[in-house]
Amino acid sequence: MLSTPSRTELSQRTISDEIADRQALERDAAASAGRGLEAHPRRDFAPYRSTVLRHPTHELVRADPEEIELVSPAFGHTDVAAEENDLTIQHAGEPLGERIIVTGRVLDGDGRPVRNQLVEIWQANASGRYVHKRDQHPAPLDPNFTGVGRIITGDDGSYRLTTIKPGAYPWKNHRNAWRPAHIHFSFFGSAFTQRLITQMYFPGDPLFALDPIYQSIVDPAARERLVAAYDHDVSEPEWAIGYRWDVVLTGPRSTWTEPEDGDHA
Amino acid sequence: MPEQRLLGQTPSQTVGPFFGYALPYVGGPDVRAPWHSDAIRLHGTVYDGAGDPIPDAIVEIWGADAAGRPSTERGALDRDPHGFAGFGRAAVDRDGHYSFTTIKPGALRAGSAPYVLVTVFARGVLQHLFTRAYFADEPAANAVDPLLTSVDPARRSTLVAEPDAHGSYRFDIRLQGEGETVFLDYGTEL
């Protein structure tokens, strides 16, 4: 070799090998420590090249959440218009693509509904193109689709949106890199420490195994939780294909109490 | 051992680079309207491990009012400009710079120093990062704050916003490397 391959010359095989090696290391480390695999992605997941210079190298500092961290901003129905949950009616005409309904509940780790909280979504159109000036993927923009929605969860923590199934798109992490189709979701819980931004995927996508962003979650059961389920009861005749996707937000292990002297060691 | 939860939690994923048409909103950086006499500016640049500014980060803040109380005012998105909802969101510009107007919060309780909670999202950041911006002009309170005093003294200054003009504080965020910001773990279930 005359030089190290540039990022665009890296093959999928190289990236896939890196994913397999890293996941094996994580499994071994968890097994020898007698613990399970963590649900969240590894921050320093090198097969996803953008993490390399963007993950902290120091261990995070343990903080006892104070009151401001254990409450959330007060969103409400006045923040969001009811029709913002339908991404197919934002323009004069019908967007192109497969119309879908996505519904589910937002819960905390004890199964309690996360009520009256803001859910924001954004996504590419059916061709895999975002309405974003830095997205130069040569796929058509759809004049009838922007791909932005907002919802306030109901009393049972539920949300429901109507949209278009997004397309896969290329993203230059390596040669021939394609993201699995996904919808970005942003959630607020009842505490700010529950804040979550994630991506919902579609069942059976052949790109899962190849995608370093999806595979940055080492635990296969945790990865699966990002995949919506087809739900025939959500599908509407002559209208839309339905998916169900429930979301569980984290919480602190214990609620905040007055710290005692010396418990910050 | 973490206590057993009923349900497995949903993993985080990166905000990606293409949130710019979705997450920023009108008034997002103005937690307190700039024409209020108590408004302060809280601003800075987000840097990567090479020391280069990140052009595709988004920063959120969440802070108490001047008396140290979290706001319960609804409409954190569609905000009354005369009010204070405590929450703000600002995308960085092409030079990695963000800027909020807000108020300087009061301390949440006796024996702790005032701070604004700061959350950072970016392409390449698979799980958002929490930190706190304390204020350099609160030396007495900072000297006894339980979190600040628990941090390695060499890194403590990364949690402190420095006054750089009247009513303006600079809080740079370094994701990695020289002067890496102290990021926080709230002991949430993993």
Indicate if the pLDDT at residue B188 is higher than 70.
no
Mark which residues 5-34 of A lie under 8 Å from B by CB: none
Query: Is B17 part of any domain?
Result: no
Sign of the CA dihedral with A174 first, then A55, B187, and B67 last: negative
Domain count, chain B: 1
Query: Is B28 part of any domain?
Result: no
Lowest-confidence pick of B69-83, B101-115, B176-190: B69-83
**For strand B57-62 and strand B87-91, is the pairing parallel, antiparallel, or unpaired?**
antiparallel
The residue type of B76 is: A
Lowest-confidence pick of A72-81, A190-199, B112-121, B157-166: A72-81
Query: Is B109 part of any domain?
Result: yes
Range of the domain at B162: 39-174
What interface predicted TM-score (ipTM) does this complex get?
0.95
At residue A255 the predicted structure's pLDDT band, cuts being 50, 70 and 90, is very low
Query: Is B21 part of any domain?
Result: no
The phi, psi pair for B185, rounded to 5°, reads -120, 120
Lowest-confidence pick of A66-75, A116-125, B43-52: A66-75
pLDDT of residue A132: 84
pLDDT tens for A67-102 read 999 999 988 777 898 899 999 999 999 999 999 999
The angle at the Cα of B73, spanning B69 to B78, to the nearest 5 degrees, equals 135
pLDDT of residue A138: 87
Q: Does B146 touch chain A (CB under 8 A)?
A: yes
Q: Which residues contact A59 (CB under 8 A, 6 or more apart)?
A: none
Of B6, B12, B58, which to mutate for an interface test with A (greatest number of A Cβ within 10 Å)?
Answer: B12
pLDDT of residue A1: 42
At residue A8 the predicted structure's pLDDT band, cuts being 50, 70 and 90, is low
Sign of the CA dihedral with A75 first, then A76, A81, and A86 last: positive
pLDDT tens for A204-246 read 999 999 999 999 999 999 999 999 999 999 999 999 999 999 9
At residue A5 the predicted structure's pLDDT band, cuts being 50, 70 and 90, is low
pLDDT tens for B61-103 read 999 999 999 988 876 777 778 888 899 999 999 999 999 999 9
Q: Which residues contact A87 (CB under 8 A, 6 or more apart)?
A: A95, A121, A123, A145, A146, A147, A148, A149, A161, A162, A163, A164
For residues A175-184, average pLDDT:
97
Is the Cβ pair B11, A130 closer than 8 Å? no
A253 versus A186: the higher-pLDDT residue is: A186
Query: Is B80 part of any domain?
Result: yes
pLDDT of residue A212: 98
Query: Is B150 part of any domain?
Result: yes
pLDDT of residue A256: 41
Q: Which residues contact A133 (CB under 8 A, 6 or more apart)?
A: B20
DSSP annotation of A64 reads: -
Nearest alpha-carbon partner for B150 in A61, A261, A69, A193: A61
Q: Write the CATH number for B158.
A: 2.60.130.10
**Percentage of chain B surpassing pLDDT 90?**
84
B122 CB neighbours in chain A (<8 A) are 54
Burial of B79 (0-12, 13-18, 19+ CB in 10 A): buried
Query: Is B158 part of any domain?
Result: yes
pLDDT of residue A109: 86
Query: Is B180 part of any domain?
Result: no
Q: Does A173 touch chain B (CB under 8 A)?
A: no
Residue A214 designated active-site: no
Catalytic residue among A182, A201, A214, A243: A182
